[in-house]
Amino acid sequence: MDHRNSRAATLTVERPVMAGDLRVKVFADGADLEGIRSLYGNPLIQGFTTNPTLMRKAGITDYAGFARELLEVVPDRPISFEVFSDEFADMERQARLISAWGDNVYVKIPATNCQGVRSDGLLRGLCGAGVKVNVTGITTPAQVEWVAECVGGGPPCYISLFAGRVADTGLDPVPGMQAALEIIDRLAPNAELIWASPREILNVVQADRIGCHIITVTHDLLKKLPLLGKDLDQFSLETVRMFHDDAQTAGYTL
């Protein structure tokens, strides 16, 4: 018996997921004001996030000024801005200031400061004061556990697990994300889990399949969302034509 043919006969093709089928909420991640303005008109985009690194790359020098401009563009969907102090007392001051910018604002608080000290006391204080937080920089279910204990019972909040960075280390992020969902369901039903730092559109499908609440997607990656469910035979033909056309345009000869 030819085992190769037998193995091939057992393969099944998964039903393609279309963008309109997604249950996971897609948040646009970026700091390009005009890009955000355009994405605001897309009903698939249900929220927005940014961070100091993205803002610096976009050439933004006035943090508060940019945030106010952004909130004029996005007045009614969740949007996250991050504190940037490394001292917990000053983080709290910044968080309260940022929170006051709008009812749709979530304040990104890192899980630890730059010395690795947990922000648990800060999180408990902010949540107790009604500040909606987005706890960021998380990479393990163990971190999700203590964060969920801090934010549980408070106002609506987000817990961002950086699945893309986990994948960058060669580990499958899906089991950790599933564990995080179970932890949040048990300890902090007021929180939603964010699949942060996706690397490819497949991650959107993976997040959707496991019941993750939200996935943040960069503007560049969002351009690939229309490929969801694309016919693979057509994709093959387009690829072959691209190689041929580029060779012709370059004038290659042999």
The residues annotated with a catalytic role in the active site are 108
Q: Distance between CA 144 and CA 158 in Å, rounded?
A: 11
DSSP 79-148: EEEE---SSHHHHHHHHHHHHTT-TTEEEEEESB-TT--B-HHHHHHHHHTT--EEEEEE-SHHHHHHHH
Angle, in degrees to the nearest 10, between helices 120-128 and 88-99: 30
Q: Distance between CA 77 and CA 74 in Å, rounded?
A: 6
> What letter would DSSP give residue 230?
-
| Cα distances (angstroms) measured from residue 116 to each of 18, 111, 141 | 41, 9, 17
Q: Distance between CA 105 and CA 82 in Å, rounded?
A: 10
- Dig out the tokens for 69 from the structure: 């401009």
